[in-house]
Amino acid sequence: MYDPFIQPESVEAAVQAPPRAVDVGLTLDWTSRDARHRECLFLPWLEPGRDHWPGGLGTALDALEAGVMHEASREAAAALVPPREEGRVVDLPATAFNCSLLKHRRVEAHAGRFYPRAFIAGHAGIEAGDRELFRVGALEGEALTADLNHPLAGYDLQLQARVVAQHDHGRDDGQTVDVARLLTARGPGMQACWRGRPTDFWVGGALEREDPNPDAVFYAEPRLVHHLDATARDQIAGLYAACIPPGARVLDLMGSWESHLDRVQTPAEVVGLGMNAQELAANPVLTAAQVQDLNTHPELPYAFGSFDAVVCTASVEYLMCPEAVFRSIRQVLRPGGVFVVTCSDRCFPTKAVAVWERLYDFERMGLVLDLFLQAGFSDLATFSLRGLPRPADDPYAGRLEHADPVFAVWGCRGE
C-alpha cells in the first residue's frame, strides 16, 4: 500500500535537536469485509508532552529523529475510537428521522448513509443541534436502525506514526490538539458498508445533474489548467507509480492534458480517452488518443484485455452510467490488471451527479468501492491522504491551509 510519508522532502522540514514540536505523518491501516484501507494524515507542530495522544504515542515520538517511523501498540491503536457497543445500535420508527430539519431542502434517510445526529433528536438521548454523525444502518418499511457507534469501532486498527520534521520550539496558541479525533472524526470507516449490506447510493435521482446540457457543449473549449494543487498531483503520481507495474499498457480514462503518470516506469503505451481533442493533443505522455463521451457511449472502443492498467483522475463523479463504464473497464483490462480511481473534494458541481454532492468525502470512496464490487473487481483497496500543507506558490495559498486531499479506490480484474 502506498506510503506518502516515506518522502519527507515533499514537506518543508526544519530539523532541530532537541525537538519541542514535531511534524507527524499518521498512517492507519484496517480491513473491512470487502477491502483493505489506509488513511494518512499529516499534522504539523504537535507537542509530544502537551497534546493528547492515543495510548502514550506522544512519548514514543518524543524520542525519535526525523524520518523514523514508530509502530504503535495494539492498545494505542484501539484507543483511537471507543469500543463498539451493540447497545448503541438503536431501533427507531422511520418517522424519528426529521426529513424537514433543514429549511432549504428536504433530506431523505437512506440505508447505509451518514447524517448528523440532530436528524433523530429526541430519540436515543440525542439533543437538538448534535452534529456528530450516525449511520442509518437499515431502513425497512416503518423501521429505522440507527448505529451510533464510530464507523471504525470493531475493526482491528494498525497505527504507524512517522516524524517528518522537528522544531526547536512549540506552538504559542495555548491549545491542546486531540490527535486521535483529528485522525478519525467524520471520515475513516465511512467507506465500508454496514454489516455487509449494500449502501443505498443509487436512489432518489442519484444520477441527475444540475446542468442537463450535453457534455460536448461544456467541454467544447479546452481547459489547460490544473484542477488540483501541485501537492495533490504529486501524491497521485506517486500512488499510480506504486500501483502500476513497469512496462504497462495504460488507459487514461476521462483524460486531459496531464495524466499524472510521470513516475510510472517505462510504460509501453499510454492511451488517453477524453472529451476535448485539444486537451488530449497537449498531453505529452499519450501515444494515442480517443474523444468519446462516456455519458452517451459508455462502452469502451478497445478489445478485451487491451490494457495492464486504467486510471481515472478527478472525474468519476461526472459519470451518469457508472455501472456500465466500470463493467467495460473490467473487460478491457487483462487478467490481473489494475483500475485506479482518484478524486478530491473539488469538482464542477453543476456537472457532478447529484449523489456525489450529498455525500461526505469518505462516503464517496464507499460509492466508488460499490461500483468496483458491482463490476466484479477483486483485491480492493481504498486510500486517503489529508493535511499536507498547500504549496506556497499555489493561487489559494494563504486562503486554504491544506493541500487538496487525495482519495483513491483501486481493484484488479480476476483471472
Q: What is the pLDDT of residues 89-120, one digit of tens each?
A: 999 999 999 999 999 899 999 999 999 999 99
What share of the chain in percent tops pLDDT 90?
A: 84
What is the pLDDT, as a whole number, of residue 18?
57
Q: How far apart are CA 366 and CA 409, in angstroms?
A: 9
400 or 336, greater pLDDT? 336
356 or 398, greater pLDDT? 356
- Torsion sign over Cα 297, 354, 35, 262: positive
**Grid cell digits, residue 113:** 448513509
Q: How far is CA 78 from CA 6, 155, 279, in A?
A: 24, 9, 48
What is the pLDDT, as a whole number, of residue 13?
46
- Torsion sign over Cα 65, 68, 69, 71: negative
**Grid cell digits, residue 346:** 473539488
Average pLDDT, the chain: 94
> Using only C-alpha atoms, what is the Rg of the chain?
22
Cβ neighbors of 89 (< 8 A, separation 6 or more) are: 137, 145, 146, 147, 148, 149
40 or 172, greater pLDDT? 40
Query: Residue 174: which pLDDT band, with cuts at 50, 70 and 90?
Result: confident
Pick from 185, 115, 105: nearest CA to 146: 115
Query: Residue 11: which pLDDT band, with cuts at 50, 70 and 90?
Result: very low
Query: Residue 62: which pLDDT band, with cuts at 50, 70 and 90?
Result: confident
Q: How far apart are CA 122 and CA 126, in angstroms?
A: 6
Kindly report, residue by residue over 288-339, the tens digit of the pLDDT: 999 999 999 999 999 999 999 999 999 999 999 999 999 999 999 999 999 9
- Torsion sign over Cα 140, 32, 333, 279: positive
| Other C-beta atoms lying within 10 Å of the C-beta of residue 104 | 4
Residue showing cell 457511449: 297
Rounded to an integer, the average pLDDT of 120-139 is 96
What is the pLDDT, as a whole number, of residue 14?
46
The residue count of the chain comes to: 415
Buried b (16+ CB within 10 A) or exposed e, 62-92: bebebeeebebeeebbbbbbeeeeeeebbee
Rounded to an integer, the average pLDDT of 39-46 is 97
Rounded to an integer, the average pLDDT of 135-159 is 97
Asked if residue 4 has pLDDT above 80, the reply is yes
Q: How far is CA 348 from CA 131, 142, 279, 353, in A?
A: 27, 37, 17, 10
What is the pLDDT, as a whole number, of residue 396?
85
**Grid cell digits, residue 322:** 457508472
**Grid cell digits, residue 223:** 481547459
Check if the beta carbon of residue 248 is closer than 8 Å to that of residue 264: yes
What are the DSSP calls for 67-123, one per residue? T-EEEPPHHHHHTTSPPP-GGGEEEEEGGGS-TT-SSSS-----TT-EEEGGGGTTS
Check if the beta carbon of residue 322 is closer than 8 Å to that of residue 329: no
Q: Please, how many CA atoms are within 13 Å of residue 318, restricted to the half-sphere of its CB? A: 28
What is the pLDDT, as a whole number, of residue 225?
81
Check if the beta carbon of residue 265 is closer than 8 Å to that of residue 246: yes
Asked if residue 8 has pLDDT above 80, the reply is no
Q: Please, how many CA atoms are within 13 Å of residue 138, restricted to the half-sphere of its CB? A: 12
Cβ neighbors of 284 (< 8 A, separation 6 or more) are: none
Pick from 265, 282, 268: nearest CA to 223: 282
Q: Return left, alpha or beta for 205; rule: phi > 0 is left, psi -120 to 50 is alpha, else beta.
A: left
What is the pLDDT, as a whole number, of residue 342?
98
Point out which residues pair with 27 in neighbouring strands. Answer: 40, 160
Rounded to an integer, the average pLDDT of 61-76 is 90
What is the pLDDT, as a whole number, of residue 19?
66
